[in-house]
Amino acid sequence: MSRLEFRALCAVALLAFLGAPAVAETVTPLKGQDAATQQKDTAECQSIAKQSSGYDPAAPPPPPPSAEPKAGGRARGAAAGAAAGAAAAEVRGRQHEEAYDRASDEAKQEYRQNQAKSTAAAGAVVGGSKQRRDRRADRNEQQEVQAQQESAAQKYGQAYQGCLVGRGYGVSP
């Protein structure tokens, strides 16, 4: 699933979630309660449901923030790899000081550049892998926040309906 498809799916799910009623659509008095009692009971049940669930349908929590896509992981990895490769080549050359000193400056530079190239390629792979892992972690975090919000809304609805049923009302969706 592409990032654009995922965002579109999240937007549709969020609109459906926010558009869905959090309270019962039809409340019917089963014990002959008058309209004033029904209004009072409804308000009390809404208050109880808010307290027990921590969710207020009149002021739902904002949607999870969309993290900016992280870019440049491969380039950063390649740069770090190139620097490490050049430094390692210099250290390896110094380990064999006599032969290294006899080599021309061009040969030394070519050796360091070749080492830098090979480690830059490895760094690009590692940087790209880290970038993908970070994106997955951000996506999972957003999904967890959304699931928590949906769970709170469900708890509110269950608490609200349970309170009304306990007070002698029929609740139908």
Which parts of 3-72 fold into alpha helices (H)?
3-19, 35-53
Residue 108 lies in a domain: yes
Confidence of residue 127 (pLDDT cuts 50, 70, 90): confident
3-state helix, strand, coil in the chain (%, to 5): 75, 5, 20
pTM: 0.53
Number of domains, the chain = 1
Residue 112 lies in a domain: yes
pLDDT in tens, 65-110: 666 666 777 777 777 777 777 777 667 666 666 666 778 888 878 8
pLDDT in tens, 99-121: 667 788 888 788 778 877 777 77
Residue 13 lies in a domain: no
Residue 12 lies in a domain: no
Residue 7 lies in a domain: no
Calpha distance 42→36 (Å, rounded): 10
Q: Rounded to whole angstroms, what are the CA distances from 101 to 84, 97, 106, 116?
A: 21, 6, 12, 20
Is the model's pLDDT at 56 over the cut of 70? Answer: yes
Residue 76 lies in a domain: yes
Residue 54 lies in a domain: yes
Could you count the other beta carbons within 10 Å of the beta carbon of residue 58?
A: 7
Domain of 122, in residue numbers: 22-62+70-172
Residue 109 lies in a domain: yes
